[in-house]
Homo-oligomer: A and B are copies of this chain.
Amino acid sequence: MKKLINDPADVVKEALQGVAAAHGDRLKVLTDPNVIVRADAPIEGKVGLVSGGGSGHEPMHGGFVGPGMLDAACPGEVFTSPTPDQMLEATKAVNGGAGVLHIVKNYTGDVLNFEMAADLARAEDIEVEAVVIDDDVAVQDSLYTAGRRGVGTTVLAEKICGAAAEQRRSLTDVADLCRKVNANGRSMGMALTSCTVPAAGKPTFELGPNEMEIGIGIHGEPGRERKEVVPVHEIVSMLATPIVEDLPFGSGDKVLAFVNGMGGTPLIELYIVYYELHRFLSDRGIEISRNLIGPYITSLEMQGCSITLLKLDDELTALWDAPVNTPGLRWGA
C-alpha cells in the first residue's frame, strides 16, 4: 500500500487537522468527537443541516460545510459510519432553534447511528428530522433487503436543501424537499480499480487487468456484475439505461446530470463520460439543463465513475443555482 499518510490510524485525525489549518477562517473543526461545523453556527432561526458518513469520500461531506449547504458534517473512520455522539454534538452545534435535518445515506451503519443520535437529541429537546437517501439503482430494492444505497443524490440534496434552509424554510419544508430530491434522483456507478482502506493495507477487491465492476458501491462493495472493460460509450449505456428506466426519465424531462469521479479518475475521462451521457440523453429527448462534473463523492483512490440524474423543476433549479460557499462546491459567493 502506497499512500500519502503517516500512521493509518491517524488518517482521519490528521486530515481534519489539515482542514482546520486550511479553512479555519470559515469552518470550526471539533475533535472528541470529530465534527466539522460552519464557523458562524448556530444560525438563529435557520434549520441546521447535518450529514456525515465514513471518511474516504471527500469532499463529501466535510467539504460541503458552509453557507448554502451543510451546517455540519460528521466524519467517521475511513468507510465507517460515524458514531452517535458525533451526530449529537453536530446537532447541538447547529441548532438555531428551527430544528435540525439529518441527511443520511442508506447504509445500515449510518442509519442506526443517526437513529441513536436523533433519539439523544430529541431527549435534549432538539427537533430532529432524518431523511434517508437511497438513490442507487445498481441493487434493486426489495422488501427483504436493507434497501438501496445512498450515493450521488446525497450531494445534490445537500446543496438544494442547504439553499432552502438559507431561505429560512421550516424543518418540515426542508425535510420534504430532501425527500423530493431523493425521489427524483437516481444513480449508478462502476469501478475500473479497487480502493485500499489505509487500516486494511490492501485493496478491498481484486479486478483482473481487463475487468470492471458495474454497480460498484462507494466503499468498494461489489455491485451488479463483473465484466470485460468495454468502450466508454457502452459503459455509459450500462449505467444510464437502468437509471433512466427506473424513475423513469422520459422525453421532455429536464435533468441535472452529475458525472462523478471515484477519486482516481482523470478529469479528461469524466468529460468523455459526460459527452457520451449527453448523447445518450439527447437520443431520448431528455434535456440536461444543469450539470456537475468532477470528484465529489469519492472512494479513496478508486478509478471509475458514477452517474446521477436528478429530474429538475423550477423550484429545484432555482435552489441549485442559489449561492453556495464551501471548500468543495462554490458559486455566486
A95-103, A141-149, A292-300 - the one binding chain B? A292-300
Q: Is the CB of B272 within 8 A of A295?
A: no
Does A200 interact with chain B (Cβ within 8 Å)? no
Q: Is the CB of A21 within 8 A of B298?
A: no
Within 8 A of B (CB), among A157-185: none
Size class of the contact patch on chain A: 35 or more
Q: Which of B63, B231, B266, B273 meets A58, CB within 8 Å? A: B266
Q: Which of B11, B63, B233, B278 meets A272, CB within 8 Å? A: B11
Q: CA–CA, A331 to B66, complex, Å?
A: 14
Least Cβ distance of A323 to chain B in Å? 10
Q: Is the CB of A266 within 8 A of B303?
A: no
Does A199 interact with chain B (Cβ within 8 Å)? no
Query: Given the known A-B contacts A192-B4, A232-B6, A271-B22, are A301 and B265 also in contact in the complex, defined by CB atoms under 8 Å?
Result: yes
Q: CA–CA, A183 to B56, complex, Å?
A: 37
Q: Is the CB of B58 within 8 A of A3?
A: no
Within 8 A of B (CB), among A8-25: 11-12, 14-19, 21-22
Q: Which of B235, B274, B298 meets A18, CB within 8 Å? A: B274
Residues of B within 8 A of A327 (CB): 293
CB 8 Å contact bits of A83-119 with B (1 = contact, 0 = none): 0000000000000000000000000000000000000
Does A245 interact with chain B (Cβ within 8 Å)? no
Q: CA–CA, A269 to B300, complex, Å?
A: 9
Q: Is the CB of B301 within 8 A of A4?
A: no
Q: Is the CB of A269 within 8 A of B3?
A: yes
Least Cβ distance of A270 to chain B in Å? 7
Does A42 interact with chain B (Cβ within 8 Å)? no
Query: Given the known A-B contacts A56-B266, A293-B22, A330-B331, are A15 and B271 also in contact in the complex, defined by CB atoms under 8 Å?
Result: yes
Least Cβ distance of A66 to chain B in Å? 12
Q: Is the CB of B263 within 8 A of A266?
A: yes
Residues of B within 8 A of A268 (CB): 11-12, 15, 55-56, 58, 78, 300
**Which 7 A-B residue pairs are closest in the complex by CB-CB distance?**
A18-B271, A18-B275, A58-B267, A4-B269, A264-B264, A21-B278, A15-B271
Given contacts A18-B271, A58-B266, A331-B333, 17 further A-B contacts (CB under 8 A): A2-B209, A2-B303, A5-B232, A14-B271, A14-B272, A14-B276, A19-B271, A22-B274, A22-B293, A263-B264, A264-B264, A264-B265, A264-B266, A264-B303, A265-B301, A266-B298, A266-B300
Residue pairs across A and B with Cβ atoms less than 8 A apart, 16 shown, are A2-B212, A2-B303, A4-B235, A12-B268, A15-B275, A17-B275, A18-B272, A55-B268, A58-B271, A78-B268, A263-B267, A264-B264, A265-B301, A266-B301, A330-B331, A331-B333
